[in-house]
């Protein structure tokens, strides 16, 4: 195992942004963390990196986790320095981490930029969105990380580039023995792009397991509802299934299971007792047998 996070909690001004987050990353595999806005998926990753917001209190941060971790952000245009050439940004990271600057062209080749020697002279604005994200990934790889955290790496990209970048991350994981922590809001996008998946809701992990299992037979009612409401999963011409209500804010007190006010399967116990994560699902009445 490359990185284990156990019982991470992040509070800001007394409000729990992440209540209880655990995840295990393995070399060569992509682990997707999926959640809607406010689920705590990004803040959990930032806190592991030591980049939590000023004043936040982090409990159970893995010791010395920062070494060997690199991050790729959503918007490559703001992650790259606009006044530095691709070559300057890559060699800076390489030299800081004690690698020869000559590796820059190899790194670009690894992220699928074949004419690297020429591209080194380019500035970010001269590249397409997909190429910028490839350069941002190359910069992250320049530090030779064991773990690569990618936060919504395809949101700012065109639909036609989305799968290409996700596949690139998966290939890099396999070929470099890299553990990839992929953060996304789109449960459908992780289908072909990850080996394991963690589903978060309101600061908590509600379901965790092999992507193929979780997506084909979700056990938590939230995972099932999220999959069902996606336009991609529904034939046109009929109303889409929806989840009533909204995700509770960090300051909202919800007794028992935090999903119970929106749950179609809730019973009396759900309103009083918070379920624990057992066999990869945090629900008193999960669907189907344990995997």
* Binding stretches for other proteins (CB under 8 A): 36-37, 129, 158-164, 185-187, 225-226, 229-232, 234, 236, 239-243, 246-247
| CB nearer to other proteins: pick between 141 and 165 | 165
Nearest distance, CB of residue 61 and other proteins, angstroms: 27
Angle between helices 86-96 and 103-110 (to 10 degrees): 110
Q: Could you give the CA distance from residue 202 to residue 229 in angstroms, rounded to a whole number?
A: 18
Smallest separation, CB 8 to other proteins (Å): 22
3-state SS class at 41: helix
Min dist CB 156 to other proteins, Å, is: 9
CB of 36 to other proteins, least distance (A): 4
Closest to other proteins by CB, 129 vs 256, is 129
Contacts of 72 (CB under 8 A, 6+ apart): 79, 133, 136, 137, 140, 148, 149, 150, 151, 153
CB count within 10 Å of CB 209 equals 21
CB nearer to other proteins: give 37 or 102.
37
Output 93 or 133, the one with its CB closest to other proteins: 133
Least distance in angstroms from the C-beta of 230 to other proteins = 6
Give a three-class secondary structure readout of 19-30.
EEEEEEECCCCE
CB of 219 to other proteins, least distance (A): 18
Of 176 and 188, nearer to other proteins (C-beta) is: 188
Question: What's the rounded Cα separation, in Å, for the pair 267 and 2?
Answer: 39
Minimum distance from residue 193 beta carbon to other proteins (Å):
12
Q: Is 140 left (phi over 0), alpha (psi -120 to 50) or beta?
A: alpha
**Rounded to the nearest 5°, which phi and psi values hold at 219?**
-100, -30
Length of the chain: 291
CB of 42 to other proteins, least distance (A): 13
Cβ proximity to other proteins, 11 vs 186, nearer residue: 186
The two structure tokens encoding residue 218: 């979700």
Give yes or no for a contact between 275 and 204, defined as CB atoms under 8 angstroms apart: no
Nearer to other proteins, 86 or 247 (CB): 247
- Identify the sign of the CA torsion 12, 17, 18, 19: positive
Give the span between the Cα atoms of 106 and 124, in whole angstroms: 19
Measured from the Cβ of residue 277, the count of other Cβ atoms closer than 10 Å reads 17
Name the pairing type of β-strands 3-12 and 15-25: antiparallel
Nearer to other proteins, 162 or 213 (CB): 162
């Amino acid at each position: 195992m490359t990185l284990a996070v156990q019982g991470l909690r992040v509070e800001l001004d007394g409000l729990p942004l992440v209540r209880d987050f655990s995840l295990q990353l393995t070399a060569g595999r992509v682990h997707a963390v999926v959640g809607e806005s406010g689920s705590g998926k990004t803040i959990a990753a930032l806190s592991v990196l030591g980049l939590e917001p000023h004043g936040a209190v982090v409990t159970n941060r893995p010791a010395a986790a920062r070494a060997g971790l690199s991050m790729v952000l959503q918007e490559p245009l703001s992650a790259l320095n606009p006044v530095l050439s691709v070559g300057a940004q890559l060699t800076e990271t390489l030299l800081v981490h004690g690698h020869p600057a000559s590796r820059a062209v190899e790194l670009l080749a690894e992220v699928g930029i074949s004419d690297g020697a020429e591209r080194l002279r380019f500035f970010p604005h001269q590249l397409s969105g997909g190429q910028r994200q490839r350069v941002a990934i190359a910069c992250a790889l320049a530090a030779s990380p064991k773990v690569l955290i990618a936060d919504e790496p395809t949101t700012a990209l065109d639909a036609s580039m989305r799968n290409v970048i996700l596949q690139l991350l998966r290939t890099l994981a396999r070929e470099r023995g890299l553990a990839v922590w992929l953060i996304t809001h789109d449960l459908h996008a992780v289908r072909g792009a990850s080996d394991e998946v963690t589903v978060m809701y309101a600061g908590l992990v509600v379901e965790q397991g092999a992507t193929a299992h979780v997506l084909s037979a979700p056990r938590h009612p939230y995972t099932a509802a999220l999959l069902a409401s996606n336009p991609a999963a529904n034939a046109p011409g009929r109303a889409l299934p929806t989840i009533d209500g909204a995700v509770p804010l960090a300051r909202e007190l919800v007794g028992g299971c935090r999903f119970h006010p929106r749950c179609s399967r809730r019973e009396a116990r759900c309103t009083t007792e918070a379920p624990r994560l057992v066999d990869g699902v945090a629900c008193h009445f999960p669907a189907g047998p344990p995997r």
